[in-house]
Amino acid sequence: MAYVISDECISCGACQAECPVDAISEGDGKYVIDADKCIECGACAGTCPVGAPKAE
pTM score, two decimals? 0.93
Residue 56 has pLDDT above 90, yes or no: no
What residue segments make up the domains of the chain, in order of their start? 3-55
Cα 49–chain centre separation: 12
Could you give the residue ranges of the DSSP H alpha helices within the chain?
14-18, 43-47
Note the CATH number of domain 3-55: 3.30.70.20
Answer yes or no: is pLDDT of 32 > 90. Answer: yes
Average pLDDT, the chain: 97
Q: With bands split at pLDDT 50, 70 and 90, how would you rate the model's confidence at 15?
A: very high
- Percent of the chain exceeding pLDDT 70 equals 100
